[in-house]
Amino acid sequence: MRIVVAMKAVPDLVEEIELTPDETDIDREYLKFVLNEWDDQALEEALLVKDATGAEVVAVGLADDPDIDQALYTAIAKGADGAVMLEGGGADTHSRAAAFAEYLAKEPADLVITGVQAPDDLDGQLAPMLAARLGQRHVSVVVGVEAKDGNVVVRQEFSGGRAHVLELPLPAVIGLQASRETPRYAPITRIRQAMQAGGVRGESVSTDVASSGLSVRRMFRPEQTSHAEMLEGDVDDIADKILELLRERGMVKG
Amino acid sequence: MSGNVLVLAEHIGGEVQEATYELLGKAKELAVALGGEVEVAAFGPASLADQLGGADVVVSVDHPALAEYNPEAYEVALLSVLRERGPRLLLLSNATIGLDLGASLSVHWDASLAAYVGALQVDGDAVLATAQVMGGKLHAEVELTGERGICTVLAGAFPASAGTAPAAGSEVVAFATPEGLDNVQTKLRSVIEPEAGDVNITEADLLVSVGRGIESQENLEMVQELADLLGAPLSASRPIIDSGWLPKTRQVGKSGLKVKPKAYLAFGISGAPEHLEGMRDAELIIACNTDESAPIFDVAHLGTTEDLFELIPALADKVKG
């Protein structure tokens, strides 16, 4: 079984995000990019399936994503059998889905696992869009994937803790919410070894950009209708103030 | 071009969910502005129509494959309904069902798609959506171009009350079984109901809640001690649950539980929309996060950027006296 993990580098949300001068996009120039956290979970889940079945796992990213090579080498260091960096494709999900679909037409996968969402997928999520382009079945918000007799058994989660266990034939595309185990750690020495071994292969895909159909009029920071009143003083003063508030409400004795 | 707005009804065991009424209410307003009607697709028992009197037209598809939600069966049925009814706009919830169907239908039905939508309006002929991106740090106002569009809408974005008010005359259309529905290959093997037996965090007056800022499972001990001293259950945001550090029964948020305690202490929680949805109605919210621009401070009443690793022990010491 061949599993492809589709990966995306996204702005690190810890950083302050600036807008372009026309305020219709984020300014990527000085931003730090990291692997989409849900894609990290997707990789872990793929590696767990590999551990159980001996499946081949290939991590695939788009060359235009800043620092995606870092994520791909890390994937190899964690146990992926290979990595592919696609030249071409666009920035929005519709274009990305077209690029991954073109690659998968050339090198098909039995199973594609990718993050259920990304912080910047304004025009929708990759997994269902890619599945639609490939004409395959798909399930999103999945918290566990197991391969079983040519099928895949997944656990799909709903609000309030309900879940469905679904079984579907391969090939299929899975949008992963959370892996069964915390994503494994790759020591820096092994990532360096992967980089020296140069295991990331380049592939070009056409740059026909699929239209998202969205026209961004403006981006803005949400108006803060209210902001918390910030407590003043040192840690002692703040602790006192918090306990006083709880005492007033009868929630702390004394 | 049609001005109709179609909503997909979500139900659990035949009971229509709150999110559907939120969408129906907004759909009415949009349909008036677009000069069309509100249609609702009801998949499952025909009796669902009784709960959907808020729509002008109920398009009912009653088939065994649709008894419970099934991504493949729903996609087949909804695509068929969309092609037949040809609405201008499809509204889905931005939860599991919308996350499954929105993006694939955008391709199959050739429609523009805006996800994470928190506001919607009609401006002339254009449908404008405001989407929350970057974990809620930024909003994007987008126009859905083309003849048809899809929006996946965040829970709680619109009031449900407008969606329950009956329409002037509600028509029920029994839709012919869509081709392919008899040949669905995705099988539902079992339904897992929420775990019971653990403390019920929705009943607590005070919650001590912790997020990613706690950094490691070992550090949870410190927060647990404070919670115990305060006689409060420990709850958490999604990353803590996904890491397996606390059971699912302790998760506050859209995919967990909605809580409304008298006081909510949030430590190291940045406030992703998923989390805020589950706790914003608490009477008093006190947040501790080192990033003053974190969205948690937009819903908190009081806040501090003090390091939680200093504040939590200080609180514990003072409670001990």
- Pairing of the two strands B126-133 and B112-123: antiparallel
Residue B195: burial class (beta carbons within 10 Å; 0-12, 13-18, 19+): exposed
Q: Would you say residue A89 has pLDDT above 80?
A: no
Q: Could you give the CA distance from residue A224 to residue B165 in angstroms, rounded to a whole number?
A: 32
Q: Tell me which chain B residue has its CA closest to the CA of residue A234.
A: B306
- Return the CATH class of domain B5-183: alpha beta
SS3 label, residue A39: helix
> What residue segments make up the domains of chain B, in order of their start?
5-183, 201-320
Residue A179: burial class (beta carbons within 10 Å; 0-12, 13-18, 19+): buried
Q: Would you say residue A210 has pLDDT above 80?
A: no
Nearest in space to A121 (alpha carbons), one of B196, B242, B103, B188: B103
Indicate the pLDDT class of residue A225, thresholds 50, 70 and 90.
low
**Angle, CA B182 vertex, CA B177 and CA B185 arms, to 5°:** 135
Rounded to an integer, the average pLDDT of A104-128 is 97
User: Chain B partners of A254 at a C-beta cutoff of 8 Å?
Assistant: 321
Q: Tell me which chain B residue has its CA closest to the CA of residue A132.
A: B104
From residue B1, alpha-carbon distances to A99, B40, B87, B150 in Å are 32, 19, 9, 15
User: Chain A partners of B314 at a C-beta cutoff of 8 Å?
Assistant: 235-236, 238-239
Same fold for the pair B5-183 and B201-320: yes
From residue B41, alpha-carbon distances to B68, B139, B163 in Å are 14, 29, 14
Say whether A227 and B298 touch across the interface (CB within 8 A): yes
Question: Which residue intervals of B14-118 are DSSP H helices?
Answer: 18-34, 71-85, 96-108
Say whether B72 and A137 touch across the interface (CB within 8 A): yes
Nearest CB partner across the interface for A242, out of B135, B188, B315: B315
User: Chain A partners of B244 at a C-beta cutoff of 8 Å?
Assistant: 181-182
Residue B271 tokens read as 């406030």
- Higher per-residue confidence, B206 vs A251: B206
- Pairing of the two strands A2-6 and A56-62: parallel
Phi, psi (degrees; rounded to nearest 5) at A231? -75, 140
Helix (H) or strand (E) holding A148: strand A137-148
**Domain A2-204 is found in CATH 3.40.50.620:** yes
pLDDT computed for residue B20 by the predictor = 96
Q: Which of A52-56, A224-228, B180-184, B207-211 has the lowest mean pLDDT?
A: A224-228
Say whether A97 and B70 touch across the interface (CB within 8 A): no
User: Chain B partners of A26 at a C-beta cutoff of 8 Å?
Assistant: 134, 138
Say whether B113 and A222 touch across the interface (CB within 8 A): no
- How many helices (H) does chain B have, and how many strands (E)? 9, 17
CB-based contact (8 Å) between B262 and chain A? yes
Give the number of A-B residue pairs with CB atoms closer than 8 Å. Answer: 271
CB-based contact (8 Å) between B139 and chain A? yes
Which one-letter amino acid corresponds to residue B184? V
Distance from CA of A65 to the nearest CA of B (A): 16
Full pLDDT tens readout for chain B, 321 residues: 799 999 999 999 899 999 999 999 999 999 999 999 999 999 999 899 999 999 999 999 999 999 999 999 999 999 999 999 999 999 999 999 999 999 999 999 999 999 999 999 999 989 999 999 988 889 999 999 999 999 999 988 899 988 988 887 789 999 999 989 999 999 999 999 876 667 889 889 999 999 999 999 999 999 999 999 999 999 999 999 988 899 888 999 987 888 999 999 999 999 988 899 899 989 999 999 999 889 999 999 999 999 999 999 999 999 988
User: Chain B partners of A228 at a C-beta cutoff of 8 Å?
Assistant: 285, 287, 297-303
From residue B301, alpha-carbon distances to A123, B58, B308 in Å are 33, 43, 18
- Average pLDDT taken over every residue of chain A: 93
* C-beta separation of B57 from B116 below 8 A: no
Q: Would you say residue A226 has pLDDT above 80?
A: no
Query: Sign of dihedral through CA atoms B138, B143, B146, B152?
Result: positive
Say whether B265 and A128 touch across the interface (CB within 8 A): no
User: Chain B partners of A252 at a C-beta cutoff of 8 Å?
Assistant: 230, 319
In a mutational test of the A interface, the residue from B212, B292, B304 whose CB has the highest number of chain A CBs within 10 Å is B304
Distance from CA of A198 to the nearest CA of B (A): 32
Indicate the pLDDT class of residue A227, thresholds 50, 70 and 90.
confident
Which one-letter amino acid corresponds to residue A20? T
* C-beta separation of A176 from A113 below 8 A: yes
DSSP classification of residue A134: H
Nearest CB partner across the interface for A213, out of B112, B135, B139: B112
Q: Would you say residue A254 has pLDDT above 60?
A: no
CA dihedral defined by A128, A132, A136, A138, rounded to 10 degrees? Answer: 20
pLDDT computed for residue A160 by the predictor = 75
Question: Which residue intervals of chain B are DSSP H helices?
Answer: 18-34, 71-85, 96-108, 161-164, 220-230, 238-242, 273-279, 296-299, 308-320
Give this complex's ipTM: 0.90
Rounded to an integer, the average pLDDT of A216-242 is 89
Quick one: angle between helices B308-320 and A235-248, nearest 10?
Answer: 50
Nearest in space to A185 (alpha carbons), one of A89, A78, A60: A78
**Domain B201-320 is found in CATH 3.30.160.270:** no
pLDDT computed for residue A162 by the predictor = 87
Q: Would you say residue A253 has pLDDT above 70?
A: no
> What residue segments make up the domains of chain A, in order of their start?
2-204
Helix (H) or strand (E) holding A37: helix A37-53
